[in-house]
Structure 1
Amino acid sequence: MAVRADAGQGSGAIVADSPTAIRNVVLVGPSGSGKTTLVEALLTSAGVIPRAGTIGDGSTVCDHDPAAVRQQRSVALSVAPLKHGNVKINLIDTPGYGDFVGEVRAGLRAADAALFVVCASEGVDAATVGLWAECAAVGMPRAVVVARCDHQRADLEGEIGGCQDAFGAGVLPLYLPVRDGGALTGLYGLLSRTVGGQTADPPEGADQARNDLIEGIIAESEDESLMERYLEGEEIDTGTLVTDLEKAVARGSFHPVVPVCASSGTGLPELLELVVGGFPSPVEHLLPTVSGVDGAAHEPLTADPDGPLAAEVVRTSADAYVGRVSLVRVFSGTLRPERSVHISGHGWGENGSRAEADEEHVHDGDERLAHIYSPLGANLREVSSCVAGDICALTKLGTAETGDTVSATDHPLLLAPWRLPEPLLPVAVVAHSRGDEDALVKTLARLVASDPTLRLERNQETHQMVLWCMGEAHADVILSRLRAGGAEVDTEPVRVAMRETLAKAGKATGRHVKQSGGHGQFAVVHVEVEPLPRGSGFEFVSKVVGGSVPTNYIPSVEKGVRAQMERGLTEGCPVVDVRFTLVDGKAHSVDSSDAAFQTAGALALREAAASCGTLLLEPVDEVSVRIPDEHLGTVLGDLSSRRGRVLGTDVDESIPGATGRTLVRAEVPAAELLRYAVDLRAMTSGTATFTRRFARYDPAPQHVRS
C-alpha cells in the first residue's frame, strides 16, 4: 500500500487535546457486513471526505490502486478519525475474514468500545457471536449496527430479533424503521417518540418496543426506586432514561441496536450521538496492566496526558516511500515529535499467543521520533502531539514491532501483551533461485515483525523454512507480500520430522581395524542394545571389566554412538529411546585411538540395527478442539479418520456465558494435522478452534513408512 504523508496542521488533521474528548471505536463483523461502507459514510457525513471512498484530494482512503484498496480493506486494520461536536471519534475498521483475527484483536486492544456490524440480509454468524463473548468477558461496551438496510433481501425486524437471540440479554433497539413504500426513510426514536427531531406517529409495534426498552434501561439503572415508580404507573422522565441508558452502555451491560442505511445516510446521526453519549472515553476505560522492563510492579495507568508515557504499537506496516509505519495507541502521557523514546519488545512470551517468547523479538532500546501523524486510512497528516487516549502513526522506528511498548527513556515500561490465537497452518517456502534468498530473508523479517499471527520456523531436521499461518487466506496474503517485496518464492510439501528406534533387543560387534600402510587403527567393541520406553532418551552403560577397553576410550565409544544416532540408521532420522551397553572389546597399544573407538561405536550401532531391525516413529500431538455441540459428531468422525484417539470430552467453559459447546481432547499424529486448521474451519463453518502440543513419538504404520 502507498502511504502518503501530508505536512502541517493545515492538512485538516483532527487533533484532540483531552482524553475526555476522544472515543475509540472498533467495528467488528463478518466480511460483507458493510463495515467499511459504514466508515466511509460516516466520514462523508462529517465532512472528512467529499464522497465515499475518497479523501480530500479525491484519492482513495486506503490507496491509489483499486485492487490494493480491496485487498487492504479485507485483510488489515485501518483507522479513520472524524469530529462530532467537540469529540474526536477514531473509527477502527477491521477485517471480517477469520484468518485475520489478529487484526481484529489489535483493533479491540486499541479501542474502548465496539460496534458489531451485521448485515440486514445475512444474519449473525457464529464467529461474530464468539467475538461478542470475548468482549463480554473483558466488559467492553458494545452496540449493534444493522447495516445495509437497503439490500433487496433486507429483513430489518428479523435481524434485530436475530441479534437479540445471538447476543443475549441487554440487546434492545433504540429505534424502529420508518418506511415509505418499503424504503427506509427514517428512524423512529423509541424514547423521544420523534423522527429526525420531529414528533411523529409511531410505527407498528412501537408501544411494545418502547415498554421493553424502558424496562431494560430501568433494570440497569443505579436508581433502585425507578422500577417501583415505573410499575406504579409513573411516567419516567426521558432525560433520566437517556442518562441511565448512557451509563449502562458505558458499563457494558446494555447494548443498543441502531439500524443504518449508509447509502441514504439514514441512522448515521443517531449512531454518532450514541457513540459520543454512550461509549466511554479513554478516561473511563480499564487500561492494560504495565510493569517495568525488568518485571518490577508498576502502579496502574490512567489516561493522563501528564502521566508517564505508555503507548503500544498495535499494527506495523512497511511502505516503499516512507519505510516502516507504526500505528500507536497512547494509553498514558503525551507523544511529541523530535523526542527520544524507549522501545520495549516482549516477543509475545508466556502471557501472549505463543508458548515461548521468541528471543529475536525481545528487545529494549532508545529511538528518536521524527514526526507524529494522524492516520486517515493509509494517508498520514502531521500533528504536533498525541495525548493519552488517542491513536497516531509513527514512521521510521527501526526496531518497533507489533505489540511493542513505547515509553519514556528515563522511565521505560512494558505493557502486558494481548492474547492472540496460535497460527496452526504450516506452509513451507523456498527461494525460487539463489538470487531470491537475500530478498526472502529480509522480507520475512519485516513480515514477522509486523504480524504477530505469523510465526517463522527454520526446521533444522527437515531443512525447511516453514511459515505458520492462520489459514489459507492468510498464507496467500503472506506469499503475495513476499513476492511484492522482491522475493520470488515457491512452496513445497511440509515434511514432518520423524525418529527411529530399535525394534528389539540384541547384541552386536563394532570392529574397526586398519593396519596396512602408515599408522594403523584398531578398535573392537562388543555391545548389547535394547529399546527403551517412549520418551526415555538415550542411555549409555559401561560394563567393561579387566580393562579390555581402556577407560579413556569409553567416552569415545559413547561419542561415536551419539553421532551415529544423530545421523540416523535406515531412515536417516535421529535415533531415540535406546540403551547401549558396552560389555567388552579389544584395544591395541599403538593403533588404538579416540577416532578408532568412535568409529567402532558407530559401527556397532549400525550392526545392531541390521540384526534387530528398526521402527520409524512419528510425532503425536495432544489436540484440544472447542466446538459447538451441533458439530460434535462430525469432528469426532474426522478425528478418527486421522488416526486420532479421543481421550475425552468436557463442557467448554472457555468463553464466559457461552453454552452448547464441547471441548474434545485427542491424540493425533502430527502428519494428519498439517491442514487441520483449514479442514476444521470448513467442517464447522468457522465456529471451532483448536490447539496442539507435542505429546510423544509412536511407531508409524506401514503406509507412512513406505
Structure 2
Amino acid sequence: MGDKAQQPGAAGRALTADRPTSIRNVVLVGHSGAGKTTLVEALALTSGAVNRAGRVEDGATLSDYEETEHRQQRSVQLSLVPVEWGGIKINLLDTPGYADFVGELRAGLRAADAALFVVSAAEGPDGLAGPTRMVWDECAAVGMPRAIVVTHLEASRADYAQMTSVCGELFGGDDPDAVLPLYLPLYGAPGGDGHAPVTGLMGLLSQRVYDYSSGARVERDPDPSELDLIVGARARLIEGIIAESEDETLMDRYLGGEDIDLKTLVDDLERAVARGTFHPVLMAAPAPEGARQGLGTVELLELITGGFPTPLERPAPAVTAPDGSPRPGISCDPDGPLVAEIVKTSSDPYVGRVSLIRVFSGTLRPDDTVHVCGHGLDHHESHELHEADERVGSLTAPFGKQQRSLPQAIAGDIACVARLTRAETGDTLSAKEKPLLMEPWDMPDPLLPLAIEAHSKADEDKLSQALGRLVAEDPTLRLEQNPHTHQVVLWCLGEAHQDVALERLRTRYGVQVDPVPHKVSLRETFGAKATGRGRHVKQSGGHGQYAICEIEVEPLPAGSGIEFVDKVVGGAVPRAFIPSVEKGVRAQAAKGVAAGHPLVDVRVTLVDGKAHSVDSSDAAFQTAGALALREAAAEARIHLLEPVAELSVLVPDAHVGPVMSDLAGRRGRVVGTEPAPGGRTLVRAEIPEIEIDRYAVQLRSVSHGTGRFDRTYLRHEPMPPQLADKIREQAEKGT
C-alpha cells in the first residue's frame, strides 16, 4: 500500500515470532476454483518461502499437503502456510471452497484475525453469490477485517471493472464506497485471440505504475493515458478512505481543494481496514515468464502486514471453567495463562495425531503438560465432554508434508502439536493447574445420512476404533448407532463429505466399508380393534408345553406405547403366568407384526386362556402371547407409521417459490413463513423423514447453494396405503 521495498523471508527455515505484533493470521475464503491455493503458492513464492519451482530446500511443495487432495483434485481441508514479509510472520490459512467442508472454513475463521475473499474474474458475478456472500455476512457480524482479491485476470472473459463494481454492490451493503479497488490492471498488447494480457498494476494512491512486462517488477511514472485512468478512480477511493477517517476535518479539507498527502491517506486506509470498516479490492495474476514475483502479490503482502490487525487488536473468545462456572476474560499476552484451541486434527502415518492449534494467551513449549478439555455437544453423541492431562510433543510449523521444529508458540501464533492422543478438534488446551474451556465456534449440523457396514470380519474388528478417530478429527461428522434400525450411520454435510469420510477410513485406518441404504425408524399400529388366540401345545415325551391365551387389541392415541391389561377371571390363566403372557406380547411387539417394525400405541387385554398343571411354563405362555398378537394382526388392518419432521428452511426471498414447490412434491405441508434478516425467508414445514433423506443435497440444488435447513422430529403418523404396501412387499421379499 505504501509501495515500500520488502525483504522476503528465507526458504527452508521455520518461522518464529517473539511478540504478537509481528504476527498476522489471515484466512483465505472463496468458492472452489476461485484460486485460493494458487494465490497462497504465489505469496509463498514472492515472500521467498519457496523457489521458482515452488519447492523449498527439502523438496516439499505446498500442494503436497494431503494425498486425498491430489487424487480428487480438490482441497477438502484447512491447511496452514506460514510466510514472512518485512519481519512479519504471516500465517496463511487456506480453506476448502466446497460447501461440504464448511466446518474447515469455520475453523479457519476462528483461528484468523482477518480474511481475504478470493473471487474469480473469469466467473463473473455468479462466483460471488450464495455461500461466499453468507461467509462475508458472518465475518461482518463479528467485525472481522476483510479484503478482496480478484483472480483469473488472464481469462479471456475476465472483466476487472465489472468485478469491482459487483463487489461494491454485494459486499458494501448500504455503503458501496466501503469496497473499492486500490489498483487498476495494466494491459499489454492484444494477442492473436484479441485478448490483452495483464502486465502490471497502476497504484491509485501512489499514482505509480508497477510494470511486470519485462519479467521484473519495474516501477515507473504513468503515461498520459494511464494517468487519466488513475485520476478518474483515485478521487472516489480517496473519498471512500476519508469517509472512514478518524480525522473529521479531513473531508472538509479535501473538498476545499487541499491535496491530502500520501502518508495520511495510507495511514487512514490501514486503520480503516484494521477496524473492518473499509474493504479494499486488489488483484492477483500469474507471474510473467521469468518473473520471481506473482503480479499483485507484493501489494497484497503490503496490505496484510500494514493494514490487517495484529492478534492484540482482536478480542479473544470467552472462557469458563470446565464445569461452566465463569472465569475472567483472557488477552493476547505471551506471559498470561495458557489458553489455546485445536482448530484442526489430522493423522500422520509417522507422527500419529497432529493438532493444529491457535494460541490465544500464554506461551506453549515442547514437553509442557497441558489440560485438554472438550465440549459435550447435545447433537453429537460422539463428542461428549472429556478432560485429560497430556504432555505436549514437538511443536512444529507445517509446510506441505514437512514439519519444521519450533522452540515455542506465543499468544497470537498458530502451530502444530504432536501426540495429543485424547485431543479432538475444538478442544481447549490450558495450564493443568488452572484449567479453562473456550466458548466453541458454531458448527453446522450434519444432515445427510450415510449408513455403512464393514466389508469383512477383519474390517468389522477395526471399524469402531477407526470411526472414533474419524469423528475426533472432524466435528462436522456425527456418528449414530441407531437402536431401532440397528444401522451404523455417519451424518455428513454433503456427498463430497461422504466420499472423503469413506476414503479416510480406507486409506488412513485401513478399514473398508460398504454404503447401504439408510433406513428410517418406521412403526406399526392397529387400525381397528381385533382379537387373537395363541395356542402353544406340544407333547414330545416327558414334560410337554401347554399354554393358551386369548387377547383383544385396540388402538390407542399416538405416543401411548404398549399397554397391557389383565382381565382374566376364574383363574383361567394362573397368576404366575400372566407376566409371561405380557413378556411374550411385548417381545413380539418389538419385532413387529406386519413388516418387521416395532408395534406401538395399542392396548392388549388378556381376556381368557387355559393352563395345564404339569406342562404349562413361563416359556410356553411367552410363546402363546406372541402367537396371539400375531393372529390378531393377521385379522386386522395394520398401519405403518412413518416419522414426520419439522423442517425449518432459510433461503433468500428469490428462492422461496421453488423451495415451497419442492416441499409440496415431497408430501410436505408448509405451516408458515416469516421474514428473516438479509432479504431471506424462513419456511416452516412438516414433512415425512423418508422424503428428506437426501434433502441436504437437494436443497443446495434448488437454492443454488444459498439455503440452509434444520430438522426436528415431531411424531409418527400413518403412511399412505400405497407406500405402506410397497414396504410390506419389500419386507416379505427380504429386501
RMSD: 2.6
- Distance in 1 (alpha carbons) for counterparts of 2:264 and 2:74: 41
- Offset of residue 277 of structure 1: 1.6
Residue type matched to 2:406 in 1? Answer: V
Q: How does 1:238-637 map to 2 (within 5 A)?
A: 238-264=262-288, 265-347=294-376, 349-350=377-378, 356-359=379-382, 361-484=384-507, 485-512=509-536, 517-519=541-543, 523-543=547-567, 553-585=577-609, 593-637=617-661
Conserved 8 A contact 1:30-1:125: no
- Distance in 2 (alpha carbons) for counterparts of 1:11 and 1:250: 31
Q: How does 1:213-224 map to 2 (within 5 A)?
A: 213-224=237-248
- Offset of residue 179 of structure 1: 2.8
- Distance in 2 (alpha carbons) for counterparts of 1:296 and 1:64: 40
Aligned to 2:33: 32
- Offset of residue 52 of structure 1: 5.4
Question: Residues 685 and 329 (structure 1 numbering): CA distance in 2 closer, same or farther, change over 3 Å?
Answer: same
- Distance in 1 (alpha carbons) for counterparts of 2:369 and 2:170: 48
Q: 1:342 is paired with a residue of what secondary structure?
A: strand
- Offset of residue 640 of structure 1: 1.9
- Distance in 2 (alpha carbons) for counterparts of 1:627 and 1:31: 21
Residue type matched to 1:446 in 2? Answer: R
Aligned to 2:696: 677
- Distance in 2 (alpha carbons) for counterparts of 1:538 and 1:529: 10
Aligned to 2:733: none
Q: 2:287 is paired with a residue of what secondary structure?
A: coil
Aligned residues: 687
- Offset of residue 155 of structure 1: 0.8
Residue type matched to 1:255 in 2? Answer: H
Conserved 8 A contact 1:346-1:357: no
Q: 1:307 is paired with a residue of what secondary structure?
A: coil
Which range moves more in the overlay, 677-686 or 30-39? Answer: 677-686
Aligned to 1:180: 188
- Distance in 2 (alpha carbons) for counterparts of 1:233 and 1:554: 101
- Offset of residue 101 of structure 1: 1.2
Aligned to 2:7: none
Question: Residues 138 and 425 (structure 1 numbering): CA distance in 2 closer, same or farther, change over 3 Å?
Answer: same
String of CA shifts for 1:181-209, please: whole Å, max 9, x gaps.
Answer: 33333333322323346553554443343
Conserved 8 A contact 1:55-1:61: no
- Distance in 2 (alpha carbons) for counterparts of 1:440 and 1:632: 42
Aligned to 1:144: 148
- Distance in 1 (alpha carbons) for counterparts of 2:309 and 2:437: 25
- Offset of residue 513 of structure 1: 5.0
- Distance in 1 (alpha carbons) for counterparts of 2:273 and 2:399: 27
Residue type matched to 2:168 in 1? Answer: Q
Conserved 8 A contact 2:36-2:94: yes
Question: Residues 25 and 271 (structure 1 numbering): CA distance in 2 closer, same or farther, change over 3 Å?
Answer: same
String of CA shifts for 1:356-384, please: whole Å, max 9, x gaps.
Answer: 24255432111111211011233210010
Question: Residues 70 and 17 (structure 1 numbering): CA distance in 2 closer, same or farther, change over 3 Å?
Answer: farther
- Offset of residue 64 of structure 1: 8.6
Residue type matched to 2:280 in 1? Answer: P
- Offset of residue 234 of structure 1: 3.7
Conserved 8 A contact 1:528-1:581: yes
String of CA shifts for 1:394-431, please: whole Å, max 9, x gaps.
Answer: 11221111111111111112112211112222222222
Question: Residues 381 and 493 (structure 1 numbering): CA distance in 2 closer, same or farther, change over 3 Å?
Answer: same
String of CA shifts for 1:286-306, please: whole Å, max 9, x gaps.
Answer: 211211111111111211111
Which range moves more in the overlay, 86-95 or 641-650? Answer: 641-650
Conserved 8 A contact 2:548-2:609: yes
Aligned to 1:4: none
- Distance in 1 (alpha carbons) for counterparts of 2:705 and 2:325: 40
String of CA shifts for 1:190-238, please: whole Å, max 9, x gaps.
Answer: 2232334655355444334323222222332333333344444444443
String of CA shifts for 1:478-535, please: whole Å, max 9, x gaps.
Answer: 2222222322332222222211111112333444455775445555544332212223
Residue type matched to 2:96 in 1? Answer: P
Alignment of 1:162 with 2:161, yes or no, is: no
Residue type matched to 1:174 in 2? Answer: L
Which range moves more in the overlay, 434-443 or 23-32? Answer: 434-443
Question: Residues 547 and 360 (structure 1 numbering): CA distance in 2 closer, same or farther, change over 3 Å?
Answer: farther
Aligned to 1:131: 135
- Offset of residue 568 of structure 1: 1.1
- Distance in 2 (alpha carbons) for counterparts of 1:242 and 1:316: 40
Conserved 8 A contact 2:381-2:480: no
Alignment of 1:645 with 2:676, yes or no, is: no
Which range moves more in the overlay, 199-208 or 35-44? Answer: 199-208
Conserved 8 A contact 2:61-2:399: no
Alignment of 1:227 with 2:251, yes or no, is: yes
Q: How does 1:8-87 map to 2 (within 5 A)?
A: 12-51=13-52, 53-63=54-64, 69=70, 71=72, 74-87=75-88
Conserved 8 A contact 1:283-1:389: yes
TM-score (norm 1): 0.91
Conserved 8 A contact 1:178-1:203: no
Which range moves more in the overlay, 426-435 or 109-118? Answer: 426-435
Aligned to 2:113: 112
Which range moves more in the overlay, 55-64 or 410-419? Answer: 55-64
- Offset of residue 598 of structure 1: 3.3
Q: 2:75 is paired with a residue of what secondary structure?
A: helix
Which range moves more in the overlay, 596-605 or 694-703? Answer: 596-605
Question: Residues 548 and 681 (structure 1 numbering): CA distance in 2 closer, same or farther, change over 3 Å?
Answer: same
Conserved 8 A contact 1:121-1:159: no
Q: 1:75 is paired with a residue of what secondary structure?
A: coil
Conserved 8 A contact 1:106-1:315: yes
Question: Residues 15 and 270 (structure 1 numbering): CA distance in 2 closer, same or farther, change over 3 Å?
Answer: same
Structure 1 stretches lacking a partner, 5+ long: 1-8, 351-355
- Distance in 2 (alpha carbons) for counterparts of 1:523 and 1:36: 74
Which range moves more in the overlay, 488-497 or 579-588? Answer: 579-588
TM-score (norm 2): 0.88
Residue type matched to 2:298 in 1? Answer: P
Q: 1:293 is paired with a residue of what secondary structure?
A: coil
- Distance in 1 (alpha carbons) for counterparts of 2:270 and 2:493: 38
Q: 1:74 is paired with a residue of what secondary structure?
A: coil
Q: 2:246 is paired with a residue of what secondary structure?
A: coil
Conserved 8 A contact 1:526-1:583: yes
Question: Residues 221 and 580 (structure 1 numbering): CA distance in 2 closer, same or farther, change over 3 Å?
Answer: farther
- Distance in 2 (alpha carbons) for counterparts of 1:534 and 1:526: 25
Residue type matched to 2:686 in 1? Answer: E
Aligned to 1:3: none
- Distance in 2 (alpha carbons) for counterparts of 1:437 and 1:72: 30
- Offset of residue 670 of structure 1: 1.7
643, 653, 662: which one aligns with 2:681: 662
